[in-house]
Amino acid sequence: MQARTRVLETLTEADVAFYNTNGYLVLERRLPPETIAECKAELARFHEAARGMRESDDKLDLEDSHTPDEPRVRRVKLPHTQSAMMADLMRSDLILAPVRDLVGPDIRLHTSKLNVKSARYGAPVDWHQDFAFYPHTNDDLLAVGVMLDHVDDENGPLMVFPGSHRGPILNHHSDGVFAGTIDLPAEGLDPAQATKLKAPAGSISIHHARIIHGSDTNRSPRDRGVIFYEMMAADAFPILGSITKSDSLDEYDTRMLCGSPTKEPRLAPVPVRVPYPLPELNRSIYEVQKAAGRSGFAR
């Protein structure tokens, strides 16, 4: 991890130590209720936009059970490009200050998504490590989750294996093709050992790009929306096969969220696996994982 030489802005030393040991953090009630209400109003707009749609597009990923008359959105893609308020939130100190405390002052955006996980049918995300999808030259990459709803045992909380961010990048292939999922039993991992990240609406979770995580179907009568803003130290550069889309340094630098860009990638001794070959159907994590034909969660 990058050496930190600055005064903490918002986290405590105990928070940083906890994150370094466990690979995740939950910061309760960090966002004002009005901000969460604004996010939910935006989400209602996305649900309405899905009415009449026949298939997923580059803005909305639809549940398998979606119909044009009964719209069911699984994921809002890149919400910071579709909602000005979600872009402003991403650039606010509410999100960036804890990230700076963990990875330093120079931060680039990797991607963003809003996993809707609606009441009664919201789809699972199989066990995986984000770094398997986007290997970089160092591992100062993380995801900040903004909880739009109260997250409890029942509505599909994000589950993590504490400390697994210090272990290897596990096999995410199936039949020789990148499948974006880990076969937990084959790796000797018991899902009962995973920790559920539960907290009231307006709380923030942070998880390290190497931590093993996943979440079950939301079978409860309560929604579980989470916006994930995925970010990295400015000196983390993608390695062959990373889903990071960047065709020039200029474009890469447009992703700066704070601090200064660099032309000098920092090389750290981190485990890496290249996510090649890609499956034919490569439109979303849900489809890639489904193609594997195995799932850690009942569908």
* Closer to ligand AKG by Cβ: residue 189 or 235: 189
- Does 213 sit near ligand AKG (CB under 6 A)? yes
- Does 129 sit near ligand AKG (CB under 6 A)? no
CA–CA dist 241, 56 (Å, integer): 24
Q: Are the C-beta atoms of 63 and 218 separated by less than 8 Å?
A: no
Binding to ligand AKG by CB under 6 A, coded x per residue (else -) over 67-106, reads ----------------------------------------
Q: Which of 14, 22, 197, 8 is nearest to 103 (CA)?
A: 8
Which of 35, 115, 118, 155 is in the footprint of ligand AKG by CB under 6 A?
Answer: 115
Nearest approach in angstroms of CB 145 to ligand AKG is: 8
DSSP reduced 3-state for 89: helix
- Does 43 sit near ligand AKG (CB under 6 A)? no
* Closer to ligand AKG by Cβ: residue 104 or 170: 170
Name residues contacting ligand AKG, limited to 151-180 (CB under 6 A): 158
Name residues contacting ligand AKG, limited to 251-280 (CB under 6 A): none
CA–CA dist 76, 43 (Å, integer): 8
Which of 22, 205, 215, 244 is in the footprint of ligand AKG by CB under 6 A?
Answer: 215
* Closer to ligand AKG by Cβ: residue 89 or 143: 143
- Does 205 sit near ligand AKG (CB under 6 A)? no
CA–CA dist 203, 157 (Å, integer): 13
Nearest approach in angstroms of CB 27 to ligand AKG is: 17
Q: Are the C-beta atoms of 225 and 48 separated by less than 8 Å?
A: no
- Does 285 sit near ligand AKG (CB under 6 A)? yes
Exposure pattern of 257-280 as b/e (b: 16+ CB <10 Å)? bbeeebeeeeeeebebbebeeebe
CA–CA dist 205, 157 (Å, integer): 11
The alpha carbon torsion through 44, 59, 229, 170 (nearest 10 deg) reads 120
Residue 299: how many CB atoms within 10 A of its CB? Answer: 10
Nearest approach in angstroms of CB 213 to ligand AKG is: 5
- The residues that touch ligand AKG, with contacts defined as CB under 6 A, are 115, 117, 125, 158, 213, 215, 226, 285
